[in-house]
Structure 1
Amino acid sequence: MARIKKLDPLLGDARGRVGPAVLTKVRGVPVIKIRPSINRKLRKKKNKGKPESDQTLKMGLVSPFIRKISNYTSIGFDKYKTGKAAFPSAVQYTIKYALAGKNPDFVINYPEVVISVGKREPAWSSQILCDDKKVVTVTWEIPETANLREIGNDLSYILLYDETKDKPLLYSNAKTPRSARTFSQPMYKPSFGSTIHAYIFFLAPDGKSRSRSDYVGSVTIPAQDKNPLELPQETLSTP
């Protein structure tokens, strides 16, 4: 550590870092300290093999998941907390409420995932079905006590998430009003055999209020039907 007897008038009352030097004051006396060199390779070698912290693993799992569904959470978590953007709010919420398992085996608990928070009328009695033609249908009800004129034109946001492929699928794109009470989406070959989770929330036509999302449920899309002519020869029946 070097002590400055007379401060250079060009520097003035300088503080901070200049290259490897750090200008500061110790008990009112100006001093210059030399920053210790950091051997990053050695530090990385020392940390190698050490288990990652819970928070690091959780962030590494949740952040990519929320990024994939940000078309929804950017609306559903907009202005959720004053001064905080939708993305970190959704990440923080998911880490707190929708993770299962222990270090290092954390997993997304899909039934606990929330993609929207709000006080508008939520979805009631929502269900998800998959028919023989591999068409997924999401249905919901509107309670008799609700004012249909007030909420009937709400825009529905329906997320179909492929857990097996770990990606969101096509959704309603806010073109289906709440009053429709149903939304259908054909499944295509890449999702055959996959487990699909469904979520739904509603946004007021003016965009000023939204409902809390509802976890509708999950279905497994049947695997692709095999043509007997494509089966191995030994599996074909002989006359």
Structure 2
Amino acid sequence: MEPIVVRHVFFDTAVHLRRVLVLAFALAGFTIGAAACAANPFVEWRDRLFGAKADDTPLSATAPHEAIELDFDRPERFRIDEASFERDFPEGKSRYRVVELPRQVAHATLRIRVRAVPNDRGRGNTVFKPVLYLLDDRDKVLETKDVDPLYIDIRPFKPTRLLACVNLEKVRRLAIATTPKAVGTSFDATARGKLSAPSKGKFYYSTDPMKVKLPYAATGELVVELSEQPAADQGC
């Protein structure tokens, strides 16, 4: 019986060693991947402002014609759709949503996440190109703020997003709209550059750059989050 015990011990040891090696390689790969992400300036900027995880903010229950009450450092997700009000703005006529803060803020940072949504007039997804209009208490436009640049954020099994950060001064109410000239055009970006590497058989393989094209629509879905800042031009 002793040889059988020895064989079992050897088998268990080999299995255990194989599991340890697999775990070690997995941890090494994770560490390398994390280091590569940390070295990417976009990833650092995205994680610092928008968090390391993709957004899962629930959709606001506020009616399309009502103002959205936005508290500090609390994200709000909402839609601008056919039920939203429409008016003429300095950049053209557009459907919009009004966002109200608890009080006027001297310096603020508005983080914007535009979610790609299914195209209701064709295939693929569309996005909303936002423009900000600072308003007074009578809805008069005080200032126009372009949301530029927009950065694309693609993650497996998560909605594609466009990310932006805008610094605001002396703001309490604002409207989020788009421009007629943007509708019908597209957001174009290179999500991945050309890849090439040697295989184990010393052959080389390569892939073409992956380009992303998302049409701009008159309606869309966004997540916004506002943070108060101690001075101007801080937070982004």
Higher strand share: 2
**Greater radius of gyration (CA):** 1
TM-score of the two chains, using structure 1 as the length reference: 0.30
Question: Could you say which structure has the higher helix fraction?
Answer: 1
TM-score (norm 2): 0.31
